[in-house]
Amino acid sequence: MVNVLLIHPDDTVAVALRDLATGEAVSAADSQVADVMTSEPVPFGHKVAVHGIAAGEQVRKYGAGIGVATRNIAPGEHVHTHNLASVRGAVQR
């Protein structure tokens, strides 16, 4: 049963189509995502990593960068403000 949307084939995160619990197999249309299990709950509309993303690497959604990983992210992790930061909206102090 499809439970995430992978917007672009190059994306490293997918969007949860419903609230996902810990330990659910992540499934996108046309089997675009394989062997990824949620390691924590991911609310509806939020992002789940479908690839490993290294700290400092751009996180990709819509086929484009949406900011950098602030720490290493494993497949199946919830991706949000705790591990992803804008490169455009932060002010150098």
Q: How many residues bind another protein (CB under 8 A)?
A: 28
Residues 69-88 binding another protein (CB under 8 A) are: 79-81, 84-88
Q: Which residue, 79, 35, 41, is CA-closest to 57? A: 79
In whole angstroms, how close is the CB of 59 to another protein at the nearest point?
8
In whole angstroms, how close is the CB of 23 to another protein at the nearest point?
21
- Name the token pair of 20: 């996902």
3-state secondary structure of 30: helix
Residue 42 CB neighbour total at 10 angstroms: 28
The residue ranges that bind another protein (CB under 8 A) are 5, 7, 15-17, 43-47, 61-62, 64-67, 79-81, 84-91, 93
